[in-house]
Amino acid sequence: MGVYNNRRTNTYLQRIKRLVLIGAVSVTALAAIVLQRTDTVGMTAGAAKGDYIKWVDFTVSYEALCKAYEWDVDTHGTEHEVHWIELLAYTAARSGADFNKKAMALMEDTAEKLSEGETTMEELTKDMKYYSYYYEAYTAALGGLVGEYEAEAEDENGRKQYKTVYGLKGYFPLARGFDYAHYDDFGVGRSYGYKRRHLGHDMMGLVGVPIIAVESGYVEALGWNQYGGWRVGIRSFDGKRYYYYAHLRQNYPFAENLEEGSIVTAGDVIGYMGHTGYSTKENVNNIEVTHLHWGLQLIFDESQKECDSEIWIDVYPLTRFLAKHTQPVEKVEGTKEWVRTTNIRDPEVEKNKQTR
């Protein structure tokens, strides 16, 4: 009798789990309907009416980022290119943004068909209601990280030359060769000043570890913040991403000559790890553990930059992904400075230097 009751209970619980899962997917889909743009033609006029994305739950896994990126790079320049953001957006639209094993299998199968010319993304998504939302959201989050650029490399005679490459332009936020520890801490509680969620990612290390610009852009904020201590805010050139690097080193937080308005190239040293912050008084070490806090805010309209409904995403999977591209550095003798040892030429930097 006890066994029978247990079976009935298990069956009942399984039904409840299925209903909860279905409900969760439905809510995700409904949110996508509400938040996606109805069109892309009157974008400026639409923004004035509040017709822009107001919420993003970035749930793309590390495995999904790696797999989509591999397909993008492997098919670049072929007749049937697979674009990683399109592939991720399609998979999210089909799976309710749950990148589980089934979704990964779907991604692999879809990419294979696209690369063989058996179908196109236009054909696959022509009747999909949620694809445009995910595509815009994921483009905002990942848009500047992959592309064509020139990388410095040594030839057989040891001379440095630039060669055109296609791949990961974004960099890991810490310089190569420095120890660190981290875990997924997005959303955990914080109490200094007021109760709030942790809207970034902490990477523990030693004072003075060089901090690297993840993406090219311009310095939008530089200085003291009572929560972040010495911090740098860098805006991507398309305006969609705001990178926030906080708790930088006491007395010497920033790279030499860095100032508001400066244009930085992905891979540049921008500052140094410390534990400043949690004080209205400048240059105070009130953070117990030395670490870099870095965060990524998505901005679809300028009204979202500083408000009660800012969009910050979990960058733990992205941090792991960026470890594919680290920047070696060297110490400038007689100073506290570190500088990159390999340079790149980012076409977006050159374009914006001419227009700014």
Between CA 356 and CA 250 the distance in angstroms is 31
List all residues 6 or more positions away from 57 whose beta carbon is below 8 Å from its beta carbon: 28, 97, 313
DSSP state of 151: E
Whether 171 and 343 have beta carbons less than 8 Å apart is answered as no
What is residue 304's predicted lDDT score, i.e. its pLDDT? 95
What is residue 158's predicted lDDT score, i.e. its pLDDT? 82
What is residue 326's predicted lDDT score, i.e. its pLDDT? 98
Secondary structure class of 226 (helix, strand, coil): coil
Q: Flag residues of the chain having pLDDT under 50.
A: 1-48
Instruction: Report how many helices (DSSP H) and strands (DSSP E) the chain contains, helices first.
Output: 9, 17
In Å, how far from its chain's centre is CA 351?
Answer: 23
Tokens of 141: 């989050």
Task: Read off the amino acid at residue 336.
Answer: K
Closest CA to 218 of 157, 260, 250, 253: 260
What is residue 159's predicted lDDT score, i.e. its pLDDT? 87
Whether 210 and 268 have beta carbons less than 8 Å apart is answered as no
What is residue 197's predicted lDDT score, i.e. its pLDDT? 74
In Å, how far from its chain's centre is CA 97?
Answer: 16
- Phi/psi of residue 45, nearest 5 degrees: -65, -40
What is residue 21's predicted lDDT score, i.e. its pLDDT? 37
List all residues 6 or more positions away from 271 whose beta carbon is below 8 Å from its beta carbon: 210, 211, 230, 232, 245, 248, 249, 253, 254, 255, 258
From first CA to last CA, the distance across the chain in angstroms is 78
